[in-house]
Amino acid sequence: APVTVQHVTHQVAHTDEHGEHQHCEHVAAGLPNVATVFQEQKESVVAVRTEMASMNPSMSAMGPKRTPVGQGSGFVVDPEGYIITNYHVVQGASKIEVSFEEGRRLYEATLVGQDKATDLALLKIETDAPLRAVSFGQSDDLRVGDWVVAIGNPFGLEYTVTTGIVSAKSRRLGQGLYDNYLQTDASINPGNSGGPLFNLEGEVIGVNTAIIKDGQGIGFAIPVDMLSELLPQLRDHGYVVRGYIGANLQELTAQSIRQLGLSEEQEGILVAALQ
Protein backbone atom coordinates (compact mmCIF):
# COMPACT_ATOMS: atom_id res chain seq x y z
CA ALA A 1 0.00 0.00 0.00
CA PRO A 2 1.34 3.47 -0.81
CA VAL A 3 2.62 5.65 1.96
CA THR A 4 0.24 8.58 1.92
CA VAL A 5 1.31 10.67 4.89
CA GLN A 6 4.61 12.29 5.67
CA HIS A 7 5.18 12.93 9.36
CA VAL A 8 7.04 15.88 10.77
CA THR A 9 7.66 16.51 14.43
CA HIS A 10 8.38 19.50 16.56
CA GLN A 11 9.22 19.78 20.20
CA VAL A 12 6.77 21.15 22.74
CA ALA A 13 8.18 22.33 26.06
CA HIS A 14 6.12 22.20 29.24
CA THR A 15 6.50 24.30 32.36
CA ASP A 16 5.06 23.64 35.78
CA GLU A 17 3.09 26.08 37.92
CA HIS A 18 6.36 27.65 39.10
CA GLY A 19 7.47 28.41 35.54
CA GLU A 20 10.25 25.83 35.64
CA HIS A 21 11.13 23.94 32.47
CA GLN A 22 9.95 20.36 32.28
CA HIS A 23 10.41 17.59 29.68
CA CYS A 24 9.91 18.00 25.94
CA GLU A 25 7.76 15.71 23.80
CA HIS A 26 7.53 15.25 20.04
CA VAL A 27 4.19 16.06 18.42
CA ALA A 28 3.47 14.55 14.99
CA ALA A 29 1.67 16.55 12.31
CA GLY A 30 0.41 14.81 9.15
CA LEU A 31 1.07 16.31 5.72
CA PRO A 32 -0.30 14.90 2.44
CA ASN A 33 2.31 12.95 0.52
CA VAL A 34 1.43 14.33 -2.91
CA ALA A 35 4.75 13.22 -4.42
CA THR A 36 3.95 9.54 -3.81
CA VAL A 37 0.49 9.84 -5.35
CA PHE A 38 1.93 11.59 -8.41
CA GLN A 39 4.80 9.15 -8.95
CA GLU A 40 2.55 6.11 -8.67
CA GLN A 41 -0.36 7.41 -10.76
CA LYS A 42 1.19 9.60 -13.48
CA GLU A 43 1.56 6.66 -15.89
CA SER A 44 -2.24 6.40 -16.04
CA VAL A 45 -2.77 10.08 -16.92
CA VAL A 46 -2.75 11.35 -20.51
CA ALA A 47 -2.84 14.61 -22.38
CA VAL A 48 -5.63 14.82 -24.96
CA ARG A 49 -5.19 16.87 -28.14
CA THR A 50 -7.95 17.35 -30.70
CA GLU A 51 -8.28 18.74 -34.19
CA MET A 52 -11.67 20.16 -35.06
CA ALA A 53 -13.42 19.98 -38.40
CA SER A 54 -13.21 23.34 -40.20
CA MET A 55 -16.45 25.29 -39.80
CA ASN A 56 -15.92 27.44 -42.91
CA PRO A 57 -13.84 25.81 -45.69
CA SER A 58 -14.13 28.94 -47.85
CA MET A 59 -11.88 30.75 -45.39
CA SER A 60 -8.88 28.95 -46.90
CA ALA A 61 -9.12 31.19 -49.95
CA MET A 62 -8.37 34.17 -47.74
CA GLY A 63 -5.09 32.79 -46.48
CA PRO A 64 -3.41 29.70 -44.99
CA LYS A 65 -5.98 27.27 -43.62
CA ARG A 66 -5.69 26.77 -39.87
CA THR A 67 -7.20 23.76 -38.20
CA PRO A 68 -8.78 24.59 -34.83
CA VAL A 69 -7.16 22.56 -32.06
CA GLY A 70 -8.12 21.83 -28.49
CA GLN A 71 -6.54 20.16 -25.50
CA GLY A 72 -7.57 18.47 -22.32
CA SER A 73 -6.68 15.58 -20.06
CA GLY A 74 -7.76 12.01 -19.46
CA PHE A 75 -6.90 8.81 -17.63
CA VAL A 76 -6.75 5.08 -18.35
CA VAL A 77 -9.67 3.10 -16.92
CA ASP A 78 -8.91 -0.25 -18.56
CA PRO A 79 -5.53 -1.84 -19.44
CA GLU A 80 -6.90 -2.66 -22.92
CA GLY A 81 -6.64 1.03 -23.85
CA TYR A 82 -9.87 2.67 -22.67
CA ILE A 83 -9.47 6.27 -21.53
CA ILE A 84 -11.96 8.63 -19.90
CA THR A 85 -12.12 12.34 -20.66
CA ASN A 86 -14.80 15.05 -20.86
CA TYR A 87 -17.34 15.15 -23.67
CA HIS A 88 -16.67 18.85 -24.22
CA VAL A 89 -12.96 18.10 -24.79
CA VAL A 90 -13.64 15.89 -27.84
CA GLN A 91 -16.97 17.29 -29.03
CA GLY A 92 -16.83 17.88 -32.79
CA ALA A 93 -13.27 16.57 -33.11
CA SER A 94 -12.14 15.14 -36.45
CA LYS A 95 -8.95 13.75 -34.90
CA ILE A 96 -8.10 12.82 -31.31
CA GLU A 97 -4.60 12.10 -30.01
CA VAL A 98 -3.48 11.10 -26.54
CA SER A 99 0.06 11.22 -25.24
CA PHE A 100 1.86 9.66 -22.29
CA GLU A 101 5.15 10.58 -20.65
CA GLU A 102 5.19 14.21 -21.77
CA GLY A 103 4.62 13.40 -25.43
CA ARG A 104 7.11 10.55 -25.78
CA ARG A 105 4.29 8.07 -26.52
CA LEU A 106 1.61 9.37 -28.87
CA TYR A 107 -1.47 7.48 -30.04
CA GLU A 108 -4.45 8.27 -32.20
CA ALA A 109 -7.66 7.60 -30.30
CA THR A 110 -11.15 6.56 -31.33
CA LEU A 111 -14.24 7.95 -29.65
CA VAL A 112 -16.23 4.87 -28.59
CA GLY A 113 -18.72 6.37 -26.14
CA GLN A 114 -20.12 9.74 -25.13
CA ASP A 115 -22.73 11.21 -22.82
CA LYS A 116 -23.39 14.92 -23.21
CA ALA A 117 -25.72 14.99 -20.20
CA THR A 118 -22.87 14.19 -17.78
CA ASP A 119 -20.01 15.53 -19.94
CA LEU A 120 -18.23 12.17 -20.15
CA ALA A 121 -16.52 10.54 -23.12
CA LEU A 122 -14.72 7.22 -23.54
CA LEU A 123 -11.74 6.87 -25.89
CA LYS A 124 -9.92 3.77 -27.14
CA ILE A 125 -6.31 3.43 -28.27
CA GLU A 126 -4.43 0.40 -29.61
CA THR A 127 -1.19 -0.49 -27.83
CA ASP A 128 1.33 -3.34 -27.97
CA ALA A 129 1.19 -3.90 -24.23
CA PRO A 130 -1.45 -3.47 -21.52
CA LEU A 131 -1.67 0.00 -20.01
CA ARG A 132 -1.66 0.87 -16.35
CA ALA A 133 -5.21 1.72 -15.30
CA VAL A 134 -6.34 3.73 -12.31
CA SER A 135 -8.32 2.36 -9.39
CA PHE A 136 -11.65 3.89 -8.44
CA GLY A 137 -12.45 5.08 -4.95
CA GLN A 138 -15.92 5.98 -3.70
CA SER A 139 -16.93 9.60 -3.93
CA ASP A 140 -19.89 9.08 -1.60
CA ASP A 141 -17.43 8.31 1.19
CA LEU A 142 -15.60 11.63 0.79
CA ARG A 143 -15.84 14.21 3.52
CA VAL A 144 -15.66 17.93 3.04
CA GLY A 145 -12.09 18.79 3.99
CA ASP A 146 -10.51 15.57 2.67
CA TRP A 147 -7.26 16.05 0.74
CA VAL A 148 -7.33 15.56 -3.05
CA VAL A 149 -4.74 15.65 -5.84
CA ALA A 150 -5.33 16.73 -9.46
CA ILE A 151 -3.07 15.71 -12.34
CA GLY A 152 -3.57 17.10 -15.82
CA ASN A 153 -2.58 19.24 -18.76
CA PRO A 154 -3.51 22.87 -17.93
CA PHE A 155 -2.65 25.30 -20.74
CA GLY A 156 -0.68 22.50 -22.42
CA LEU A 157 1.65 22.06 -19.43
CA GLU A 158 1.63 18.28 -19.27
CA TYR A 159 1.80 16.38 -15.99
CA THR A 160 0.99 19.33 -13.80
CA VAL A 161 0.02 18.29 -10.28
CA THR A 162 -1.96 20.42 -7.84
CA THR A 163 -3.45 19.66 -4.47
CA GLY A 164 -6.22 20.90 -2.21
CA ILE A 165 -9.27 19.67 -0.37
CA VAL A 166 -12.87 18.77 -1.09
CA SER A 167 -14.55 22.13 -0.59
CA ALA A 168 -18.15 20.94 -0.99
CA LYS A 169 -20.23 18.06 -2.33
CA SER A 170 -23.36 17.85 -4.50
CA ARG A 171 -22.89 21.26 -6.10
CA ARG A 172 -25.45 22.29 -8.73
CA LEU A 173 -24.13 24.50 -11.53
CA GLY A 174 -27.24 24.77 -13.66
CA GLN A 175 -25.83 22.42 -16.28
CA GLY A 176 -28.78 20.01 -16.41
CA LEU A 177 -30.61 17.23 -14.63
CA TYR A 178 -27.45 15.44 -13.53
CA ASP A 179 -25.67 18.27 -11.74
CA ASN A 180 -23.86 16.70 -8.81
CA TYR A 181 -20.34 18.06 -8.65
CA LEU A 182 -17.54 17.83 -6.14
CA GLN A 183 -16.06 21.24 -5.45
CA THR A 184 -12.33 21.53 -4.78
CA ASP A 185 -9.76 24.24 -4.23
CA ALA A 186 -7.08 22.18 -5.99
CA SER A 187 -6.04 24.39 -8.90
CA ILE A 188 -8.11 23.51 -12.00
CA ASN A 189 -7.51 25.39 -15.25
CA PRO A 190 -8.36 25.07 -18.96
CA GLY A 191 -6.69 21.87 -20.12
CA ASN A 192 -7.37 20.03 -16.85
CA SER A 193 -10.78 19.00 -18.20
CA GLY A 194 -11.15 15.23 -18.23
CA GLY A 195 -8.24 14.60 -15.89
CA PRO A 196 -8.40 12.63 -12.65
CA LEU A 197 -8.92 13.87 -9.12
CA PHE A 198 -7.26 11.46 -6.68
CA ASN A 199 -7.56 10.84 -2.98
CA LEU A 200 -4.41 10.26 -0.94
CA GLU A 201 -4.71 6.50 -1.49
CA GLY A 202 -4.12 7.08 -5.20
CA GLU A 203 -7.73 6.27 -6.11
CA VAL A 204 -9.72 8.35 -8.59
CA ILE A 205 -12.65 10.02 -6.85
CA GLY A 206 -13.62 12.51 -9.57
CA VAL A 207 -13.21 13.73 -13.15
CA ASN A 208 -12.06 17.36 -13.29
CA THR A 209 -14.59 19.17 -15.43
CA ALA A 210 -15.44 22.81 -14.78
CA ILE A 211 -14.28 26.09 -13.32
CA ILE A 212 -15.94 29.38 -12.53
CA LYS A 213 -14.72 32.11 -14.85
CA ASP A 214 -12.38 34.52 -13.07
CA GLY A 215 -12.68 32.42 -9.90
CA GLN A 216 -9.69 31.21 -7.93
CA GLY A 217 -9.66 28.04 -5.88
CA ILE A 218 -13.06 26.97 -7.21
CA GLY A 219 -13.05 23.88 -9.42
CA PHE A 220 -15.56 21.11 -10.00
CA ALA A 221 -15.32 17.39 -10.68
CA ILE A 222 -17.80 14.70 -11.68
CA PRO A 223 -18.04 12.18 -8.80
CA VAL A 224 -16.45 8.84 -9.64
CA ASP A 225 -19.53 6.98 -8.43
CA MET A 226 -21.44 8.47 -11.37
CA LEU A 227 -18.67 7.45 -13.76
CA SER A 228 -18.69 3.89 -12.37
CA GLU A 229 -22.40 3.57 -13.13
CA LEU A 230 -22.12 4.89 -16.70
CA LEU A 231 -18.82 3.35 -17.82
CA PRO A 232 -20.23 -0.09 -18.80
CA GLN A 233 -22.83 1.53 -21.07
CA LEU A 234 -20.27 3.84 -22.66
CA ARG A 235 -17.99 0.90 -23.37
CA ASP A 236 -20.62 -1.61 -24.52
CA HIS A 237 -23.10 0.63 -26.34
CA GLY A 238 -21.40 3.97 -26.92
CA TYR A 239 -24.19 5.89 -25.23
CA VAL A 240 -26.24 5.96 -22.03
CA VAL A 241 -29.88 4.88 -21.76
CA ARG A 242 -31.89 6.31 -18.90
CA GLY A 243 -35.33 5.50 -17.57
CA TYR A 244 -38.17 7.97 -18.04
CA ILE A 245 -41.40 8.03 -16.01
CA GLY A 246 -42.93 11.29 -17.24
CA ALA A 247 -42.90 13.02 -13.88
CA ASN A 248 -41.67 16.48 -12.94
CA LEU A 249 -39.90 16.19 -9.60
CA GLN A 250 -38.97 18.83 -7.04
CA GLU A 251 -36.96 18.72 -3.87
CA LEU A 252 -38.96 18.47 -0.69
CA THR A 253 -37.99 21.75 0.95
CA ALA A 254 -38.86 23.11 4.38
CA GLN A 255 -41.35 25.47 2.76
CA SER A 256 -43.14 22.72 0.81
CA ILE A 257 -43.24 20.57 3.96
CA ARG A 258 -45.07 23.37 5.80
CA GLN A 259 -47.45 23.99 2.88
CA LEU A 260 -48.36 20.32 2.67
CA GLY A 261 -48.73 19.97 6.43
CA LEU A 262 -46.12 17.21 6.65
CA SER A 263 -43.91 16.28 9.55
CA GLU A 264 -40.64 18.21 9.77
CA GLU A 265 -38.81 14.86 9.71
CA GLN A 266 -40.40 13.94 6.38
CA GLU A 267 -37.93 13.04 3.61
CA GLY A 268 -38.32 12.39 -0.10
CA ILE A 269 -39.20 14.21 -3.30
CA LEU A 270 -42.31 15.99 -4.52
CA VAL A 271 -44.08 14.88 -7.70
CA ALA A 272 -45.08 18.28 -9.08
CA ALA A 273 -46.68 17.15 -12.34
CA LEU A 274 -47.24 14.12 -14.55
CA GLN A 275 -46.90 14.09 -18.29
Q: What pTM was estimated for this model as a whole?
A: 0.77
pLDDT for 57 beyond 60:
no
pLDDT at 7: 34
Residue 2, pLDDT above cutoff 90? no
Sign of CA dihedral 212, 188, 139, 88: positive
Contacts 24+ apart (CB under 8 A), 257-266: none
CA separation, residue 70 to residues 45, 47, 90, 216 (Å): 17, 11, 8, 23
pLDDT at 207 over 80: yes
The stretch 235-264 carries a mean pLDDT of 84
Q: Tell me, what's the pLDDT at 52?
A: 86
pLDDT band at 3 (very low <50, low <70, confident <90, very high): very low
pLDDT band at 26 (very low <50, low <70, confident <90, very high): very low
Mean pLDDT of the chain: 85
- Residues marked as catalytic: 88, 119, 193
With cut-offs at 50, 70 and 90, classify the pLDDT of residue 53. confident
Q: Is the pLDDT of residue 244 over 90?
A: no
Mean pLDDT confidence for 132-157? 95
Please tell me the predicted confidence (pLDDT) of residue 225.
97
Which pLDDT value is given to residue 9?
37
Q: 94: Cβ–Cβ under 8 A, 6 or more apart, which residues?
A: 51, 52, 53
- Greater confidence (270 vs 198) lies with 198
- Looking at residue 159, its pLDDT comes to 93
Band of pLDDT at residue 12, cut at 50, 70 and 90? very low
Residue 251 has pLDDT above 50, yes or no: yes
What's the burial of 125, exposed, middle or buried (CB within 10 Å: 0-12/13-18/19+)? buried
Q: In this predicted model, what pLDDT tens digit does every residue of 180-205 receive, in sequence order?
A: 999 999 999 999 999 999 999 999 99
Given a cut of 80, is residue 219 above it in pLDDT?
yes
Question: What pLDDT, on the 0 to 100 scale, is given for residue 179?
Answer: 85
Between 99 and 15, name the one with better pLDDT. Answer: 99
Q: Which residue has the higher pLDDT, 133 or 102?
A: 133
Are 130 and 137 contacting, i.e. CB atoms less than 8 angstroms apart?
no
Least confidently predicted of 6-15, 41-50, 117-126, 234-243: 6-15
pLDDT at residue 54, as a whole number: 64
Tell me how far apart the terminal alpha carbons of the chain are, to the nearest angstrom: 52
